[in-house]
Amino acid sequence: MKWFHCIVVHCRYGKNLVQAKEYGIKKGIISGAGMGFLFLVFFATYALAFWYGGKLVREEGYTVGRMLIVSLVFECTVHCVGKKRSPVYLSYNTVKN
């Protein structure tokens, strides 16, 4: 019975289902690309913070504790900036509503 119901629904609403499928694919690609870019920025800033902290320890004579403080402050700042509403987040809410 479920199989028959699926065939009838597909025949009746097939055109709308194709449009919804295409829209879902586009939305998935855009969301995935946006999240990928966001994580790229996050991890790149973390890498930059630890690289610069290591450089300060080697060249400027900072202690490891001071380097960790500087890198954690940098990471917290990046995290707070990332929590702000990004254009991807705003466009997703516009599409969702």
For 39-62, the pLDDT digits (tens) are 898 788 888 878 887 888 888 888
Q: What is the structure's pLDDT at 42?
A: 79
Q: What is the structure's pLDDT at 10?
A: 63
Q: What is the structure's pLDDT at 39?
A: 86
Low-confidence ranges of the chain (pLDDT < 50): none
DSSP secondary structure string for all residues of 20-70: HHHHHHHHHHHHHHHHHHHHHHHHHHHHHHHHHHHHIIIII---HHHHHHH
